[in-house]
Amino acid sequence: MTHSNLHRKRWQFFGLLFAKALLLTLALAPASSKASLPHHHDNDVLRVAAPARERVFARLSPYGEGFEPDLVERFARTYGYRIEWLSAADRAEALDMLRRNRADLAVGFTEAPCADDAIASGPSYAHERPVEVRARHADGREPEVLRDEYEAPVMQTAAFTPDAEGLHATGAPARTAAMPDRQEGSALPATAHETPTIIDGASWALWQPFVHTESRAATLESPLTYRWHWRAGAPRLDANLRGFWQARQHPVDTMLDDLTEQYFGFLPETLDPYDLKELSDTVEDRVPRYGRTIAKAASKAGLDPLLLTAVIFQESRFNPNARSHTGVRGIMQLTQETAIDLKVNRMDPDQSIRGGARYLRMIWDSLEELNLDPWDRWFFTLAGFNQGPGHLRDAIRLSQELGGSGRTWRELKEVFPKLARAKYYTRARYGYCRGYEAVDFVESVRWYYYVLSGLVVLDRPEAKHLAPLLAVRGTPVAPFI
């Protein structure tokens, strides 16, 4: 062995001894010494701080995990992160978690960009009008659903309190199913046993159908702005997030629009308390009569039985003798031609339900080649059920002719009504179509499906009448299994 080789071997030997000694010292160091070491985590793990809000994590909705989780998941998938969700009661706690390197990203919070060099803020991506809500039980207690939503805390923020400067009522009190006769007005004077809170308009719209207590709400002028915040001291994360949001600003990017449509596009502009009351009464009085048939038909067709229930309610209000001027008949409002093809008697409610479920599945299967997002495929299926598969294909082609992709319901709901105009239906393969009815049908079914799912999640009294359906429902990740 040469002298140089021997020298190198000695240094390798002493280096190994030194490394072992260092590891032993660290292993035996007291806890206080270890705590003083810098905090590190896997760079591929994205720690996301978020509040437990319905707008963020969807508890009531059957349409997915929630707007923010889906958006974060798309970012993580693009840049190769694994997500770790952390709970943050409010924006102040979330920002503190970023400063202390206990979180990398904060989502689901409103207000302006953070004036802190350690924290970067993304562009605003959603604007919601705040709503002042005053709700109470007869004994003065606040409804649990609202308390859960804002005292968790959820929508209450330091910048928006009921007496905050600059918030002025612009709308009329909201009406719930429990208060259809309330007079409209723009002012919300305080009354005994009422505690006001400020929530964003989307969250109120999501919760409102389940607040079956006396409540009043008025839209306020100053908007709530949503944006992401993250640690500015993480170069790779900072660059990736800036790149992600820069892509969202591109004119052809539709990610935010598509997610907004998925989670909020079905919400009615004005809640109809009489319509909700009719749905509640139908669930109690009529659904039990057909519950087993719905459950079996849905199971055989691979549908969520609550979806099938929503379709029946929209079609006939569960009236087996329902008739329309367009010629459709029965509880599922089938055409004579469709009933013959399905080999069912459309005026027999049990046969009609089985045939309707099978028809929905047939339309769903016929869209396989389009490789659509599951939710868009569902909305396309409902439109085809209402107006026929041929008119659905006409709408897809028209969307593409007008520069769209023809692959999203967000596009098709804008195009379908055009097929009722001569300028468009004269060059469509299947001719005139009441496309506006297709849009109304799909959005109504989405709304009723949402309400029914919420009743089950909240274990409301109406849910017991849906028990025969729930036995076969399981936990579907999409309306078609």
Pairing of strands 214-219, 195-200: unpaired
Is residue 232 within 8 A of residue 115, CB to CB? The reply is no
User: Of all helices (H) and strands (E), which one includes residue 85?
Assistant: strand 82-87
DSSP single-letter state for residue 369: G
At residue 162, the pLDDT reads 30
At residue 136, the pLDDT reads 59
At residue 480, the pLDDT reads 53
Give the other-Cβ count within 10 Å of 446's Cβ.
25
End-to-end Cα distance, the chain: 71
Give the other-Cβ count within 10 Å of 166's Cβ.
9
Q: Assign 3-class secondary structure to 413-438.
A: HHHHHHHHCHHHHCCCCCCCCCHHHH
pTM: 0.82
**Token digits of residue 390:** 């041929």
**Token digits of residue 372:** 């659509």
Is residue 301 within 8 A of residue 361, CB to CB? The reply is yes
Is residue 150 within 8 A of residue 197, CB to CB? The reply is yes
CA distance 458 to 223: 29
pLDDT tens, the chain, 481 aa long: 444 443 444 444 334 444 444 443 334 344 333 333 334 455 799 999 999 888 899 999 999 999 999 999 999 999 999 999 999 999 999 999 999 999 999 999 887 777 788 999 999 999 888 888 776 554 445 454 454 444 333 333 223 233 332 333 333 333 333 333 333 333 345 554 556 677 788 888 899 898 765 566 777 777 888 999 999 989 999 999 999 999 999 999 999 999 999 999 999 988 999 999 999 999 999 999 999 999 999 999 999 999 999 999 999 999 999 999 889 999 999 999 999 999 999 999 999 999 999 999 999 999 999 999 999 999 999 999 999 999 999 999 999 999 999 999 999 999 999 999 999 999 999 999 999 999 999 999 999 999 999 999 999 999 999 988 887 665 554 565 5
Pairing of strands 214-219, 105-110: unpaired
At residue 222, the pLDDT reads 76
